[in-house]
Amino acid sequence: MWSGPRNLSTALMRSFGNRKDIRDVFDEPFYAAYLKATKKEHPMFQDVIDSQETDWRKVIENCVRTEDDGICYQKHMVHHLLPNFDKEWVLKCTNCFLIRKPEQVISSFLEKWPDAKFEDFGFHDQINLFNFIANQTGEIPVVIDATDLCNHPERSLRRLCNKLKISWDPNMLQWKAGLKPYDGVWATHWYPSVKSSTNFKKESGENYYSQLVLSFADQAYDIYSELLKHKL
């Protein structure tokens, strides 16, 4: 599942993590490799570096490792897959893209890391990877929109399961509150709302966004709109 930050990707990870046939859940396995390479001073920078494999080659080996039974669900941030990291490996996986309205992404991310630049939201990386997979496979990857997940979770998840050719599991609609064993060490900073969540919540009404958020969002809307054309 290829996402930008603050796309409800952790809630979707909870949903898949609650399936009966889940084997492994990977929470942003390239995060430490990304931070080591970019030196971006994210919150909990050193904790992340110390908690994960920092060699992107070894991360890939783990991502494509196969087992006989069960689903391996991988939550990836698109911008963590840096240009100098090999990306041919993704063609061995079933790839999905989770998108969200730019102003919602950007507003939420800036609350957690006010120093973020446009590149940190992952919009360009998401469309580039989407096009790479489409061009290499000749098929349009699966796209799911966070608004649909929030407002119509069962319908959206059933469609997703059908598209992925996996069985529908109603356990995806609800999970127990709290941190999970598969959560990254950064969960204490980035996941406080998900920690208390037990399901997908309907979106509230209109929100106020700062001029900075709207300025960033203007740069992202063409990309979001292009991906939105392909949503389930």
Task: State how far the alpha carbon of 52 is from the alpha carbons of 27, 156, 185, in Å.
Answer: 10, 32, 9
Residue 51 is predicted with a pLDDT of: 96
Of how many residues is the chain composed? 232
Residue 22 has pLDDT above 80, yes or no: yes
| Beta strand residue intervals within 7-155, DSSP E | 22-27, 71-77, 96-99, 142-145
pLDDT digit string, tens, across residues 99-120? 999 999 999 889 888 988 999 9
**228 vs 207 pLDDT, higher one:** 228
pLDDT digit string, tens, across residues 115-150? 889 999 999 999 999 999 999 999 999 999 999 999
Task: Report the pLDDT averaged over residues 190-195.
Answer: 76
DSSP for 143-187 reads EEEHHHHHHSHHHHHHHHHHHHT----GGGG---SS--TTS-TTH
Contacts of 22 (CB under 8 A, 6+ apart): 16, 70, 71, 73
Task: Report the pLDDT averaged over residues 161-176.
Answer: 96
Per-residue pLDDT band for 31 (boundaries 50, 70, 90) equals very high
Number of alpha helices (DSSP H) and beta strands (DSSP E) in the chain: 11, 5
CATH of domain 2-228: 3.40.50
DSSP letter for 118, please: G
Residue 193 is predicted with a pLDDT of: 73
143 bridge partner residues? 97, 231
- Residue from 7, 180, 179 nearest 78 by CA: 7
Residue 157 has pLDDT above 90, yes or no: yes
Contacts of 136 (CB under 8 A, 6+ apart): 91
Per-residue pLDDT band for 207 (boundaries 50, 70, 90) equals confident
- Say what the pTM is: 0.93
